[in-house]
C-alpha cells in the first residue's frame, strides 16, 4: 500500500465526531491493550513538565485527564502544553476541552517546530497507529532538548488465551479501518530507540502494552 493511500485511509478513519472517537478509544483500551484508563493517566501525567509536546492529542479528553491528575499529584511540576494532531475533526473537540493549551495541526513525521524546542513529550497510544513511525520518532527527538524525556506506550502482539483472542479481533478490525498500523514486539521497539537518539530509562509491560520512559541522548 502506498504512503499516499495509507495516509488517506488513516485521515478518513479519524474524521469522526469527537465523542465517537472517545468511545472507540475506551473500547480499544479495554479489549486490545487490556489496560485501565487510570493506569495510563498515572503514567503519562508524570511527564507533564516544562514546555511539553503532547503528540497525537486527538480530542484532548485523555490529556485533560492527565493535566487534572498532574496538578493534584505533581504540584511541583509547572507545564505548558502544546498539543499536536493532524486530524482537524478531532482538534475541534480538543479546543473545547484544552483551555490554556496551544493546539496545532501537525504531521508528527514532519513537524514545523524548531530544533530542541521542548523539555518533555508524550506519545500516548499513538506509536502503533502511525505509518512511518521511524520518521515520527526522529522528529520527536529533533524537537526535544538534550536530556528531554519522552513517555510512550506501544501495543504488543497479543499472547494466548480467551481475552487475547478478543484482542486479536479488535486489532484486525483496527487495521481494516485504518486506525491501527500494526502491533509490535518488545524487542523491536526497544532496539529502535537508540536509532532515533533515545536512551531507554525504564520499561514495564501491562498485558498487551509496553510503557517506556526515555530521554534524548
What single string gives the DSSP state of each residue in 10-60? HHHHT-S-HHHHHHHHHHHIIIII---HHHHHHHHHTT--EEEEEET-TTS
Listed in sequence order, the residues at least 6 apart from 73 whose beta carbon sits closer than 8 Å to its beta carbon are: 45
What pLDDT is recorded for position 104? 96
- How far is it, in rounded angstroms, from Cα 122 to Cα 79? 13
Q: Which residues of the chain have pLDDT under 50?
A: 1-9
Q: What is the grid cell recorded at 123?
A: 506519545
Express each pLDDT in 88-121 by its tens digit: 888 888 888 887 789 999 999 999 999 999 999 9
What pLDDT is recorded for position 11? 53
What pLDDT is recorded for position 40? 97
Q: Which CATH number fits domain 3-216: 3.60.15.10, 3.40.50.150, 3.40.605.10, 3.40.50.720?
A: 3.40.50.150
What pLDDT is recorded for position 2? 36
- How far is it, in rounded angstroms, from Cα 11 to Cα 144? 26
What pLDDT is recorded for position 16? 64
Give exposure, 74-99, as e/b (b: 16+ Cβ within 10 Å): eeebebebbbbbbbeebbebbeebbe
What pLDDT is recorded for position 26? 79
Q: What is the grid cell recorded at 87?
A: 486530524
Task: Let me know the angle formed at the C-alpha of 159 by 44 and 11, rounded to the nearest 5 degrees.
Answer: 55
Instruction: Give the Cβ contact number of residue 8 at 10 Å.
Output: 12
pTM: 0.91
Amino acid at each position: 500500500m502506498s504512503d499516499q493511500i495509507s495516509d488517506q485511509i488513516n485521515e478518513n478513519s479519524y474524521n469522526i465526531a469527537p465523542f465517537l472517537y472517545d468511545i472507540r478509544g475506551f473500547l480499544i483500551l479495554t479489549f486490545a491493550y487490556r489496560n485501565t484508563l487510570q493506569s495510563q493517566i498515572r503514567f503519562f501525567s508524570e511527564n507533564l513538565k516544562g514546555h511539553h509536546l503532547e503528540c497525537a492529542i486527538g480530542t484532548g479528553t485523555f490529556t485533560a485527564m492527565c493535566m487534572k491528575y498532574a496538578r493534584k499529584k505533581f504540584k511541583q511540576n509547572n507545564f505548558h502544553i502544546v498539543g499536536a494532531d493532524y486530524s482537524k475533526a478531532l482538534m475541534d473537540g480538543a479546543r473545547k476541552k484544552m483551555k490554556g493549551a496551544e493546539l496545532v495541526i501537525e504531521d508528527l513525521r514532519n513537524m514545523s517546530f524548531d530544533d530542541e524546542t521542548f523539555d518533555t513529550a508524550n506519545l500516548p497510544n499513538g506509536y502503533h497507529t502511525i505509518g512511518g513511525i521511524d520518521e515520527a520518532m526522529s522528529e520527536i527527538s529533533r524537537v526535544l532538548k538534550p536530556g528531554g524525556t519522552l513517555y510512550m506506550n506501544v501495543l504488543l502482539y497479543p499472547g494466548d488465551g480467551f481475552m487475547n483472542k478478543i484482542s486479536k479481533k479488535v486489532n484486525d478490525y483496527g487495521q481494516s479501518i485504518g486506525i491501527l498500523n500494526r502491533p509490535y514486539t518488545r524487542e523491536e521497539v526497544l532496539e529502535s530507540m537508540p536509532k532515533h537518539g533515545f536512551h531507554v530509562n525504564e520499561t514495564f509491560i501491562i498485558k498487551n502494552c509496553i510503557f517506556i520512559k526515555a530521554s534524548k541522548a
